[in-house]
Amino acid sequence: MNALIDTVIPALAPAGSERSATGPETTVPAGTTADAGALAVLEDLNVWFTDALGHRRHVVHDLSVDIRPGECVAVIGESGSGKSVTARTLIGLTGPSSHVEATTATLFGRDLLTLQDGDWKSIRGRDVGFILQDALVSLDPLRTVGAEIGESLRLHGVRGRAERASRVEQLLAEVGVPEPRLRAGQRPDQLSGGLRQRALIASAIAHHPALVVADEPTTALDVTVQAQVLDVLAQRKDQGTAILLISHDFSVVGRLADRVLVMQGGWIVESGTAAEVLENPQHPYTRQLLDAVPSGHTKGEYLTVAGRARAEERTGERTGERTGGTGPADAGHPAVLTARGLTKSYRGPDGRDRTVVRDVSFDVRAGRTLGIVGESGSGKSTTASMALGFVTPDSGTVLLDGTPWSELSVAGRRPRRREVTVVYQDPLSSFDPRWTGRRILTDALDAGPAPGPFASGRARRAHRAELAERADHWARLVGLAPEHLARHPLRLSGGQRQRLAIARA
């Protein structure tokens, strides 16, 4: 725990250590100046949510915080602790089922609890940029990311089409998007999770807002791009932008935050400077959080591939030089899933074919874990989709227990899909929003023999009770309570949705 700020990610220099301080200054909204003090003030904030049955849940208790120009305040804590609700309160996005009270709640000197929809439309995007969790559902699925960012620029004063297009490319390049002109012409579902996240960040910083609310901004990013994005945010902070950062990642908090608040169960249990909280925590809960940070000393063998993968300027393809295999076969761990020579190409919006996976082979063995790592857009998810049979490879084979997927009919694949489960990058997009967490789990569990159409009511009730008991069991294993299973996915925090996805798998 000692000197955690410097040691969590030792390979990276502190954010902004080699950057230029030049660039456009942050514009502070009318009526507020950097000398006037805090841009946002919350005192004794309390937030409740009411469910469909009229039950009220108190999710934030007596929270107080202020955020000043050029300062980053980080809020950390386990999923469901109230971090995201606090962030959404600052931007007026807690939703109609919420009830918010506070002794003081001001944004740029205005009472944010009395702001109307018209007021928020002029504030969000221009004065306040926000990066929310689940980039896939935060971006418009029917528009290209370039069109979405460009529309925001148009609404806030950038009228020329050519100027908007140039600005969009500049923003995407700034947050590390390769081939920004090409990516600007793609829809969110055509991008990897990391590229979607970068597009969302580009949209949030487009207008040099006075305040950026960032909820898990680097979750889907590889460490190289994460460093670039943190440098961008740090540079904006140096130019006067205030940042409210919500994060589980202590390396991100240590690199960017000036002050840290620790939340547990809706309460602030500890606060102080980043150095005080991260290097010398006083509350037992804070110490537990820090002790839970993975050490990186994990058992297993590397599947060695040279780390010089690069993006070709003309084709955008990823290339890598193989320097090793999957290691010697282990007779005690038979291969459950085998991939040989997987290759896949896609046609881009410019009409050119791009090879996203080239000649990939591996074995996944019983009782073993195989890790596939690489920067976002390197083909990891496409490889997994081919292994699962969701995507047909251009060449190569995938075998499940020795049986090729391609040789199975649709009917033959259906029962075997129960043997291979998935935890998706964006759990919210993988759930039926109309189902509660309990129904999501019981549907996944209901794969065995079920009472027939002529079964007695008692048999049906017993079957449902058994499924509910099993659902509660799997929920407890991932830290979810029965009350969480009664909620719909949108009523769960991002971390709780991820846990539900793991329990379902």
Interatomic CA distance for residues 202 and 206, integer angstroms: 6
Hey, where are the domains in the chain? Answer: 4-127+209-291, 333-419, 427-504
Encode pLDDT of 309-325 as tens digits: 333 333 334 444 444 45
State pLDDT tens for residues 210-225: 999 999 888 767 777 7
Q: Say if CB 222 and CB 91 are below 8 A apart.
A: no
What are the start-end ranges of the E strands in 20-109?
40-50, 56-67, 72-76, 98-101, 104-107
- Residue 124 is given by DSSP the state B
Which residues make Cβ contacts (< 8 Å) with residue 461, sequence separation at least 6? none
pLDDT of residue 135: 72
Confidence of residue 450 (pLDDT cuts 50, 70, 90): low
Q: What is the Cβ-side half-sphere exposure of residue 1, based on CA atoms within 13 angstroms?
A: 15
Residue-wise pLDDT tens digits, 216-253: 888 767 777 788 888 889 999 999 999 999 988 888 89
Higher pLDDT, 299 or 127: 127
**DSSP code, position 176:** T
pLDDT (0 to 100) of residue 157: 80
Classify strands 72-76 and 318-319 as parallel, antiparallel or unpaired: unpaired
CATH architecture of 333-419: 3-Layer(aba) Sandwich (3.40)
pLDDT 10s digits, 118-153:
899 889 988 999 988 777 677 888 899 999 999 888
Q: What percent of the chain has pLDDT over 70?
A: 83
**Mean pLDDT in the chain?**
81
Strand 318-319 and strand 310-311: the pairing is antiparallel
What pLDDT is attached to residue 404? 85
In the block, tokens 């969590």 appear at 8
* Segment 77-85 mean pLDDT: 90
**Helices 161-174 and 145-155 meet at what angle, rounded to 10?**
120
Q: What is the pLDDT of residue 303?
A: 42
What would the two tokens of residue 144 be?
């290209």
Residue 353, pLDDT score: 87
Calculate mean pLDDT across residues 68-82: 93
For residue 308, pLDDT over 70 is answered with: no
pLDDT given at position 255: 92
Contacts of 494 (CB under 8 A, 6+ apart): 79, 84, 133, 134, 215, 216, 428
What is the pLDDT, as a whole number, of residue 361? 94
Neighbour tally for 215: CB within 10 Å: 24
Structure token digits, residue 419: 């043997």
Report the range of poorest mean pLDDT among 20-24, 197-201, 426-430. 20-24
CATH class of segment(s) 4-127+209-291: alpha beta
User: At residue 496, does pLDDT exceed 70?
Assistant: yes
Query: How much is the average pLDDT of 52-68?
Result: 92
Q: Nearest CA to 238 among 91, 65, 66, 19?
A: 19
**Helix, strand, coil percent content, the chain, rounded in steps of 5:** 35, 20, 40
| Predicted pLDDT of residue 297 | 54
pLDDT tier for residue 465 given thresholds of 50, 70 and 90: confident
Residue with more model confidence, 327 or 177? 177
pLDDT band at 293 (very low <50, low <70, confident <90, very high): confident
The pLDDT assigned to 87 comes to 93
4-127+209-291 against 333-419: fold identical:
yes
